[in-house]
Structure 1
């Protein structure tokens, strides 16, 4: 049974447990980096396959048994957690070799990366304390309390203990056994995701606007913390050999807390938006956007430097703040859950096409405002509303069930990606 749903809860470890989890988080990161370096050094074997977790798990067991003072941290990390780290590295290599997956070569994890300690489901035991609290028994740690904000709703298949800027969380992979719902028979819609207007639905007269993810006071505080961080890093490089001081780490923690708060508000709006769209429509048409290309930097090269770099950087931040990729990911599984369909359509010219006469003309959009004025039939209206109507029309013409991602094959351009061209990626069976 594979996990088909995810659950995330706020965890409240004791001070002793938090110290242990912090050490395990660094150990898991170090193990990932060591395993990745080992695979890159060995490369492909004579039969064209890579080193997989089945072989590295045997090496891990030998190192744990013969651990000396230099690698005794491997004995501190639970064995099942170490094996799960290696299995996740397997999946990263499979994604890299998959031409339909956008992932590139696995990267080394930095100390500033989010901490995560994975565990398999058979190593855990969850018990409910009351309506609002529950506990999970973690190997070598004991019972870890978490806030039961919603029911698990199925069998636990895996668990990951993570830490962000606002504290520790436990994330469960749950097998619910729920199948895709039957078509709900409702009317469809088109949705135009933008920057100035977060979302405009073709069947509505008012746009969906996302509130600023940070208040003016929080934005001012974030700017001050970023400036303080820059000064402290400069001082550390000049006078402390590059080592971070306690004050600098405190500043980084305060920045992470604001960023985590911002991410939660952003996700709250996104979940409410996608759930409403999937629940109340028979199909949802969206633009098949290439977010990576849209948010590419404008710096250019030394020979040919880019123009308006700061303006492009601000636009990129605004696009990413609306997380169009996450909205699409949520719509992909929520439409199946509520009996609707996701229909990505070609995005070219949706904001330049008149919803009345159907003529596409760049002159229909005057300036960079939100006004639309057709030069052929004289129709006027909101530009994003016109784009959403055109998206719905294209989705209707497409028809069928298009609920899975239609990502284009990634380009084989980087050095790491070309090394796996034609390689066998079949993972050997466990011994």
Structure 2
């Protein structure tokens, strides 16, 4: 029998009682400690004996630990088993060459609290149009705000906490299949910093509102400075043990940073949904965000230059979340019958969208104006880049997609042509 997997997610705001809040907080720290211990056990056995340990065998050790240690025994057995299976997936993603995941990392104390459960261990019942309850092992019924319909069979559930409070997330199997092509026009999108997104079929950029107001930025800066002073005092006079005031400061910082993340996520979801709904083909750049946001600090022997300026640029790039936009477009295009095409990003900002001329002088000083040195075409630099991205996407994704303009001849420099030819070849096996 084929196992049915979750193909959609549902997240709701949960409202635990005071007793449930204390229990969930303790379970969250236990889940984090169990992840670290299980990871340490796997690393030790591999380094000492070259033995690969998996969750099926670790579950036997978990059963013994639940008998000997009360703090582990208090955590539901289903949650502990789910944590070990998640560690299996983390290892599988690390060994998968097509997955960018790194080696599984240990979770610090400040990591977000979360407790996972399999779908068989939870039960959901609807109270009215706006409220519902979920029954969790050893906790009872937990109320949550039913902000949208579940729309499928529950395969897993996770209770997590952030700066705004507790949330319950469900992995749901909806059985939805990819839609047929919607036949709508194509577009290219240039993600940037000054202009959050410039669509080739539009004349004005889409700007992300500030994730924090001026007063909120000043307050966040003051709270971070206060935290630094309190941590220094704690290390000198309190043996490194966090006091009540320091915990309050950390909670206030977490609330502000969560608010900033939620506003960023709201803009990202609205942008990607609109693009996927109203276009048949979407072209974006295949950006290497990790390389783009690398630190310029350097080493003590060879210190970097303009470190603070590069740090500010890195924050601006990450604030626009180009990787998250690409991830959302990958699954939303399947939902709305469109196609996502990634194109090589080299020289998109220096290529004329009219004649295909590649010349750095066409955009002097990386300003907002693009003026071609050959044909005299003038346009906003980001809009010109988005039109060029659309042309490259149409050449890659197929010419049967409708477009609002003709495809210009694209002249790729010699280095670019060489990189396109030198694709990685699979190793020969005899």
- Compute the RMSD of aligned alpha carbons: 1.2
- C-alpha separation in 1, matches of 2:266 and 2:299: 39
Partner of 1:264: 262
Aligned-pair CA distance for 1:368: 3.0
Aligned-pair CA distance for 1:400: 4.9
Contact 1:274–1:331 (CA<8 Å) still a contact in 2?
A: yes
Of 1, 13, 16, the residue aligned with 2:16 is 13
- C-alpha separation in 2, matches of 1:40 and 1:126: 38
**Deviation readout 1:357-400 (Å, 9 max, x if unpaired):** 11011111111321111111111110000000000000010025
Contact 2:113–2:160 (CA<8 Å) still a contact in 1?
A: yes
CA 1:400/1:28 → structure 2, altered by over 3 Å: closer, same or farther? Answer: farther
Partner of 2:63: 61
Partner of 1:164: 162
- C-alpha separation in 1, matches of 2:262 and 2:130: 21
Contact 2:125–2:133 (CA<8 Å) still a contact in 1?
A: yes
Partner of 1:365: 363
Partner of 2:418: none
- C-alpha separation in 2, matches of 1:148 and 1:369: 48
List 4+ stretches of structure 1 deviating above 4 A. Answer: none
Partner of 1:196: 194
Partner of 1:95: 93
Does structure 1 residue 2 correspond to structure 2 residue 12?
no
Partner of 1:30: 33
User: What are the residue-to-residue correspondences of 1:143-222 with 2, within 5 Å?
Assistant: 143-222=141-220
Contact 2:45–2:51 (CA<8 Å) still a contact in 1?
A: no
What secondary structure does 2:63 align onto? helix
Contact 1:44–1:50 (CA<8 Å) still a contact in 2?
A: no
User: What are the residue-to-residue correspondences of 1:231-270 with 2, within 5 Å?
Assistant: 231-270=229-268
Contact 2:46–2:52 (CA<8 Å) still a contact in 1?
A: yes
Higher deviation after alignment, 194-203 or 36-45: 36-45
Aligned-pair CA distance for 1:50: 1.6
What secondary structure does 1:43 align onto? helix
**Deviation readout 1:85-136 (Å, 9 max, x if unpaired):** 0000001111111111111111110110000100000000000111110000
User: How many residue pairs were aligned?
Assistant: 396
User: Relative contact order, CA 8 A, sep 6+: which one is greater?
Assistant: 1
- C-alpha separation in 2, matches of 1:282 and 1:358: 24
- C-alpha separation in 2, matches of 1:136 and 1:251: 32
Aligned-pair CA distance for 1:49: 6.0
- C-alpha separation in 2, matches of 1:115 and 1:365: 48
Contact 1:123–1:138 (CA<8 Å) still a contact in 2?
A: yes
Partner of 1:50: 52
- C-alpha separation in 2, matches of 1:299 and 1:106: 26
Partner of 1:428: none
Partner of 1:115: 113
- C-alpha separation in 2, matches of 1:188 and 1:368: 27
**Deviation readout 1:10-50 (Å, 9 max, x if unpaired):** 0000000000000000000000000000000001797x762
- C-alpha separation in 1, matches of 2:164 and 2:54: 35
Of 393, 396, 407, the residue aligned with 1:395 is 393
- C-alpha separation in 1, matches of 2:397 and 2:173: 31
Does structure 1 residue 230 correspond to structure 2 residue 228?
yes
Partner of 1:105: 103
- C-alpha separation in 2, matches of 1:86 and 1:60: 9
Partner of 1:411: none
User: What are the residue-to-residue correspondences of 1:299-338 with 2, within 5 Å?
Assistant: 299-338=297-336
- C-alpha separation in 2, matches of 1:400 and 1:25: 49
Contact 1:44–1:51 (CA<8 Å) still a contact in 2?
A: no
Partner of 1:40: 43
Question: Which segments of 5 or more consecutive residues in structure 1 lack a partner in the other structure?
Answer: 402-431
- C-alpha separation in 2, matches of 1:297 and 1:353: 28
What secondary structure does 1:237 align onto? helix
The TM-score, its normalising length taken from structure 1, stands at 0.90
